[in-house]
Amino acid sequence: MLEAGQTVIPTTRSIAETGWQVLTRDDPDLGALLDAEARYQSGSLSMVASASLAPPSVLCANGTVLSNVTAEGYPGARYHPGAVHFDGIETLAVERAKQVFAARYANVQPHSCSSANLAVLAALLPRGGRLLALDLDAGGHLTHGARASVSGTYYDVARYQVGPDGTLDYGAIRDRALEHRPDVIIAGASAYPRYIDFGRFRDIADETGAFLLADISHIAGLVAAGLHPSPIDRAHITTTSTYKQLAGPRGGLILLGEDYCRTGPDGRTSLWQLMQRAVFPGFQGTPDPSSIAAKARALAIASSGDFHATMKRVVDNAQALAGELQALGYTVLTGGTDNHMVLVDAQAAGLTGIMAEQALEECGILVNRNKIPGDPLPPTVTGGLRFGTNILAQRGMGPFEVRTCAGLVHEVLSGIRVLGATHYELDGARRDAVRDRVASLCLRFPLPFERA
């Protein structure tokens, strides 16, 4: 028992516990919403391809006293005092990132992969410089020069598409590069279910005198586990998000391989020095020390055997999901998958992406609508659905359960009565039956924070 006025030596744990006591006592509204969110995650079947479950230790590392440290700059070269422990933590995160990806340089400060991409582009491309990247509708990302992004307004962007079979056509990409003469080529996607041949991209970049940026935001876990060919020594620069397949905090990484000392566009400054400056002071001010601590934790987990086994299950599950959806009559783009992602043509099933997404959500199944190549529908509606198996695998489900999930999806989608592009009806009895089955499946495969 503490005497009044007695002080305790604070620990990370006691601070977190005190914080939760105060939050639930003084702010019951917020506390209730946070608890409701934990229950919601526990009881829903999430197949959102960009999402994954951060282990409890990652969540904890992200909410510590480190947030009280303000320190612009890098370890050993800060613009504020008092960063002695933060220096150690950032160095740990950098070393772990280098180890996990066999990289020669890592920058762990980007607040997101979007800011990492924009920082890299700003470092390599003058305003009006030429960029070549995958078209947004064909699976590219906004920051790859999409019209709605600053990357699409500051640069002269050419876009490559996927071929008729939905896969990257490297011959056509080379032709596009020879025609456009880009300064930077981006290889990487938000909605692409097949291997990306970074070596082929590098050949094209070398032939046309471009820098190659590989964006592995979606597949970083597979790359870390050796289940997707690594771009680290192929691309000049690699970026990723940390909260997607790496199951870390919100944030991004910039990684360099063999070319880290090679000079950038000015012919003088090395790429790694360019990246240091591009993130700070080029694009960001203070780093987020808590999120860097959480990145360090997630990267330690990503080098474990357990993580590798989970990533293997991610791919097995995605292939099982693709196979089962096809067997149920759905059009799976590219006929299958090599990674965690399965793209389905919703229009071919007489639906739109939005109505499928909403009907599934009503039943506790989370899958996001997505544009697919040649999609005539606007991004708010879309003709496609994007499935991912990160979370199913993290919950411990294998191909057998994933086929059950595909059956539940079919139960919902085949029960939709279409009333317009965005209007539909779903039979209430069917909805309740699916909800019950989702709930019992979720109970059998609890989340990491329910098992800790």
Ligand X SMILES: *Cc1c(COP(=O)(O)O)cnc(C)c1O
Residues near ligand X (CB under 6 A) are 50, 112-114, 117, 141, 143, 188-190, 215, 217-218, 241, 252
Measured from the CB atom, the residue of 140 and 182 that comes closer to ligand X is 140
DSSP 3-state of 135: coil
Query: Is 142 labelled as part of a ligand binding site?
Result: yes
Q: How far is the CB of 115 from ligand X (least distance, A)?
A: 7
Q: How far is the CB of 389 from ligand X (least distance, A)?
A: 16
Q: How far is the CB of 370 from ligand X (least distance, A)?
A: 11
Task: List C-alpha distances in Å: 200 to 53, 163, 196.
Answer: 33, 16, 9
Measured from the CB atom, the residue of 50 and 334 that comes closer to ligand X is 50
Q: How far is the CB of 114 from ligand X (least distance, A)?
A: 3
Q: Which residues pair with 237 in a beta bridge?
A: 213
Q: How far is the CB of 92 from ligand X (least distance, A)?
A: 21
Answer for the pair 418, 424: CB distance below 8 angstroms, yes or no: yes
Measured from the CB atom, the residue of 193 and 252 that comes closer to ligand X is 252
CB atoms closer than 10 angstroms to residue 149: 19
Query: Is 218 labelled as part of a ligand binding site?
Result: no
Answer for the pair 108, 161: CB distance below 8 angstroms, yes or no: no
CB atoms closer than 10 angstroms to residue 362: 14
Q: How far is the CB of 49 from ligand X (least distance, A)?
A: 9
Answer for the pair 337, 318: CB distance below 8 angstroms, yes or no: yes
Q: How far is the CB of 390 from ligand X (least distance, A)?
A: 13
Measured from the CB atom, the residue of 208 and 242 that comes closer to ligand X is 242
Rounded-to-integer distance, Cα 74 and Cα 52, Å: 29
Where are the alpha helices (H) located in 267-349, listed in sequence order?
Answer: 271-277, 289-302, 305-327
**String of b and e for 261-288 (b: at least 16 CB within 10 Å)?**
eeebbeeeebbbbbbbebbbeebbebbb
Q: How far is the CB of 120 from ligand X (least distance, A)?
A: 11
Which of 149, 175, 147 lies closest to 160 in space, CA to CA?
A: 175
- Sequence-distant (6+) residues with CB within 8 A of 288 are 67, 109, 111, 251
Task: List C-alpha distances in Å: 181 to 135, 201, 248, 329.
Answer: 17, 14, 37, 43
Q: How far is the CB of 116 from ligand X (least distance, A)?
A: 8
Measured from the CB atom, the residue of 188 and 289 that comes closer to ligand X is 188
Strand arrangement, sheet containing 184-187 = 105-107, 252-256, 237-241, 211-215, 184-187, 130-134, 156-160
CB atoms closer than 10 angstroms to residue 10: 10
Measured from the CB atom, the residue of 146 and 441 that comes closer to ligand X is 146
Rounded-to-integer distance, Cα 221 and Cα 217, Å: 9
Query: Is 136 labelled as part of a ligand binding site?
Result: yes
Decide the pairing of beta strands 237-241 and 156-160. Answer: unpaired
Query: Is 227 labelled as part of a ligand binding site?
Result: no
Measured from the CB atom, the residue of 216 and 325 that comes closer to ligand X is 216
Measured from the CB atom, the residue of 113 and 377 that comes closer to ligand X is 113
Measured from the CB atom, the residue of 55 and 252 that comes closer to ligand X is 252
Measured from the CB atom, the residue of 275 and 349 that comes closer to ligand X is 275
Phi and psi, residue 163, nearest 5°? -75, 180
Rounded-to-integer distance, Cα 315 and Cα 336, Å: 11
- Sequence-distant (6+) residues with CB within 8 A of 199 are 229, 234
Q: How far is the CB of 442 from ligand X (least distance, A)?
A: 25
Please report the sign of the dihedral spanned by the C-alpha atoms of residue 265, residue 270, residue 273, residue 275: positive
Q: Which residues are annotated as a binding site for (6S)-5,6,7,8-tetrahydrofolate?
A: 136, 140-142
Q: Which residues are annotated as a binding site?
A: 136, 140-142
